[in-house]
Amino acid sequence: MRRTLIPDLVLDTYGARSSVGVTIEDGRIVEVRPATQGERLPGVALAPGFVNDHSHAFQRGLRGAVERIVPSRPHDDFWTWRERMYALANGLSPDTVREASRRCFEEMLSTGYTSVTEFHYVHHRPDGTPYEDPNALAKAVVLAAEDAGIRLLLLPVAYARGGLPRFRDASVRAFLRRVDDLRAWSEGRPLVEVGIAAHSVRAVPRGWLEEIGGYAKERDLPLHIHADEQQREIEECLSEHGVRPVELLAQAGFLGPDTTIIHATHAGDGELDLLAEHGASVCACPTTEGNLGDGFLPAEGILARGIRLSVGSDSHVRIDPFEELREIETNARRLAGRRNVLLGENETSPTPYLLRAGWGRDGIEPGDAADLVEIDPALADVEPRNLPSALVFGAGAGGVVRTWVDGRHAPDDNPGSSTFSAGL
């Protein structure tokens, strides 16, 4: 079915235009041009949907539960938080994974995210033995995304050592066999793509990194890994391998244009140079990194090298794409002691750079998936050319009226309805 939407305004990274029609056919944008005939969307601004590039959906169950000190652990940090997260992960079943993921994905849609990259590492029964279907939990995540109506890039995550028994596969061969099966099973599911990931250089040895990197490159798959999130991770990598995490990834053939480094919080200049050289990307998760006390990514160094940036809500302490983007610039301002820090080449505002990180594109373009977000009319009294900046710096997910995925309204168009019905 072909239809043309005519909102009051169509947004891109640089401003807003009126009297523009967005024509959709078979889930894709086919035309964006001046139009007078079509379905009016009165009082809303239409923008690309936000891409949530890093999620552990089940961790939403920790929201509010970990914001106090436990007397036995007066020093609370990433590592003590991780013990609480492990306790949650150990109690999951296929049914609760599906239910928790669905709630999380519905909340994402209500905040303007239209696609999510799920970094999925809880694979087996609590004692480590596989389920009858070894991909039972991964498939529960897929079904949850389909229940919610969100686009999903599912990343089965390799985990070789440490963590919980249920995270680990016996060998990289066994892991890749599961990935093969999952890719075959997901074919013909229009909202689902399967990529691949390694958890971290802590959890995955060099031999596995080499095999997984090779597997992804042969098949042009998106390839993700957590790296440089913690100082301790870097110290352990130096003592095991004599190099820093991103240097190890470069040596192992893990870096390329389809590779995304999650966090890169403590990446040094040499590591950023390597990412730029290989065309790899960085995904920042500022609300989670702030909540865990991890630190703040080297945003100016990433921008200066032209490294592609995306954002993720990661642990879901908060789900709000506007807040993730704002945090990147406002943290950079706090550190630099000045304003308008993250300026792309020949740009006078950080807004285009930030929105590009959130949307993965500059605006609604022919050929793109029809994944869209309608923004609250209350912002329509801002001067159109200032509207993108008003969104990034002066708005939040409450301004999202409705999302479209694959050319259709997301089923749950009632913002906030599931926000606090958390839990498993």
Catalytic residues: 263, 314
- % helix / strand / coil in the chain, to the nearest 5? 40, 25, 40
Could you give the angle at which helices 206-219 and 172-186 cross, rounded to 10 degrees? 30
DSSP E strands in 246-299: the ranges are 259-263, 281-284
Q: Which string of DSSP letters, residue by residue, matches 193-211?
A: EE-EEE--TTTS-HHHHHH
E strands in 56-168: 113-120, 151-158
Rounded Cα distance, 356 and 365, in Å: 13
Q: By C-alpha distance, which of 127, 103, 92 is closest to 55?
A: 103
State how far the Cα of 201 lies from the Cα of 249, in Å rounded to an integer: 8
d(CA 349, CA 84): 40
Residue for token pair 């990180």: 357
d(CA 80, CA 83): 5
